[in-house]
Amino acid sequence: MSYHALDDWWWPYLFILVAGWLATDVWRVLGVYLAGRLATDSEWLVLARTVATALAAGVVGNLVVFPGGALAATPLAVRIGAVAMGFGAYLVSGRRIIAGIAACEAMLMGYLLLIG
């Protein structure tokens, strides 16, 4: 069975829904099942956390250096400054993620309001 198997309007949506579910939720359930059996300080869990953190850092770095949409109109120095300000706010606030996000957003919106 393929994406173009049926001519009904609903078929592509059902295909994407089922294929997306099979590709992600099965692994999530398996991960929850297996993670319950691991000690929080096990080497496998430390490795998983390290890989997840590296992937998130790579995505953020990619968005800062090669942005799309409206963010592409802002200079690189402003984007890097916003990330640095957000990280500083995160540390100063006692590692509250919302404070870092708010500071970064405030700097970007402030730049857009002053220039735009």
pLDDT of residue 48: 87
What is the full DSSP assignment across the chain? --TTS--STTHHHHHHHHHHHHHHHHHHHHHHHHHTTS-TT-HHHHHHHHHHHHHHHHHHHHHHHS--GGGGGS-HHHHHHHHHHHHHHHHHTTS-HHHHHHHHHHHHHHHHHHH-
Per-residue pLDDT tens digits for 24-74: 888 888 888 887 888 888 898 889 899 999 999 999 999 999 999 888 989
pTM: 0.66
Residue 13 pLDDT class (50, 70, 90 cuts): confident
